Amino acid sequence: MQLTTCFNTLLTDTVNLSRFKLELLDERAGKVYRALKDDEEIGHLVLDKIPQGSWAQRTIIDPVGDNEFDADFLLLLEENPDWHDSPKTYIDKVYAALHRHRLYGEMPHSRKCRCVRLVYKNSMHVDIVPYVQLSDGRSVIVNRDDNCWEATDPEGFTTWMRQQDGITGGNLRKVIRLMKYLRDHKNSFTGTRSIILTTLLGNQVSETKKLLDPGYYANVPTTLLHLVQDLNTYLQANPTKPSIADPSGSGVTFDHRWTQATYTYFRERIRVHAAEIEDAYHEPDKETSLGLWQDLFGSGFKEPETQQSSAKFPAAASSVAAVTTTGRSGRAG
C-alpha cells in the first residue's frame, strides 16, 4: 500500500532538517560571509555568497546518529591576476582569513580539496568554496589538490533541479531525501555521494512517462517506486560504471566522485531496494505493508499520532526561504 500519510510523518518528523537547524545554517553561513567580507586582506575581493549542494537544492536531511549536518556555499571572489598561475591560493587565502579571525581562528578549520571547512561544536560544519568568474568567461572553483580550476555552473544545476522537480509535482526532492536517509539509516550504498544520487534520480524523471501515465508521479510513494524502478533498470543495463555528467551543462562529470567498486555495490543495493519498495507498495494488507515499509525506513514510518503542532520549531522571518521551503511541522518540505 502507498500509506501516504506515513510518508508525510516520516519526512516531517524524521528525515527533513528542522526549521531551527535550517535557520542556524543560514545564520552561521551569513556570519562567516560577513567576517570574510570584513577581512582586511581579502575582504575587497569578496563579492557574494551563493548557497550550493543539498542546502541550496532543498535535499538536505537531518543527520542520522552523530553525523554532522552542513551548509556549503560558494564564496564569489573577484579574480586576482597575481594568483592566476596558482588557483589553490584562493583556498589558502580564505583559510588564512578565518585563521586570523578572533572567533573562527579558535574553532576547528581546515583546507579541503575544494573548500575551507569550519566546524562547530554542535555537530555541524560550514564548507566555504571559493568561486571565481575568470576574465576569459569561465566560471570555476578551485581544486587545491591538483592546483587547478574546475568548471562549474551552480545556477544551471539549480535550474535543472527545479525543472525536474516540477515535472514530479515537487516529489523528486522528497524522494531524494528519502533515499539519502535510507543510505544513512541502513548504511546502504555507503560511498555514493549525494551529488551522484541526486543526479541519477533526477535523470530518471521523464516528461514522456508522465504524458503516458499522468499518475506516474502522483505522490511521494508512487514517485519513489517509479524513480527507483527506473534507476534500477538503468543501473542493471550498465555493469560498468557509466559517466555521470553534470546536468547543468558545465561540461564536467562527477566520475571522480566514486570508483567501480563503489558503483558495483550501489548497483546491487538499488536492485535490492527496488524489490523491497515494490513489495511494500503493492502489498494489499495494510499492517503487512506498514511492516515492509518500516523494514526499509525504520520506526519513524508511522501514521501521525495526533495533529502535529506547527509550533514544534519556532516560526521565524525566513531568511532561509530563499533556499528552502519549510513544512507544516517546521521541517523542510
Residues 6+ positions from 201 with CB-CB distance below 8 Å: 172, 175, 176, 179, 227, 231
Query: What does the pLDDT read at residue 216?
Result: 98
In the block, which residue shows the cell 511492516? 291
pLDDT-derived band at 215 (thresholds 50, 70, 90) equals very high
What interhelical angle do 171-185 and 154-167 show, nearest 10? 100
pLDDT tens digits, one per residue of 185-205: 889 999 999 999 999 999 999
pLDDT-derived band at 134 (thresholds 50, 70, 90) equals very high
- 63: exposed, middle or buried (C-beta count within 10 Å: 0-12, 13-18, 19+)? middle
Reply yes or no on whether the pLDDT at 269 is more than 70.
yes
Residue pair 320/21 in contact by the 8 Å Cβ criterion: no
Structural domains in the chain, CATH included, are 19-152 (3.30.460.90), 156-282 (no CATH)
Query: What does the pLDDT read at residue 323?
Result: 41
Reply yes or no on whether the pLDDT at 329 is more than 70.
no
Cell of 121: 561544536
Query: What does the pLDDT read at residue 305?
Result: 83
- 220: exposed, middle or buried (C-beta count within 10 Å: 0-12, 13-18, 19+)? buried
> Quick count: other Cβ atoms within 10 Å of Cβ 306?
5
- The percent of residues in the chain predicted with pLDDT above 90, rounded, is 81
pLDDT tens digits, one per residue of 27-51: 999 999 999 999 999 999 999 999 9
Residue pair 330/313 in contact by the 8 Å Cβ criterion: yes
pLDDT-derived band at 154 (thresholds 50, 70, 90) equals confident
Query: What does the pLDDT read at residue 68?
Result: 82
Q: Region 84-104: what's the mean pLDDT?
A: 97
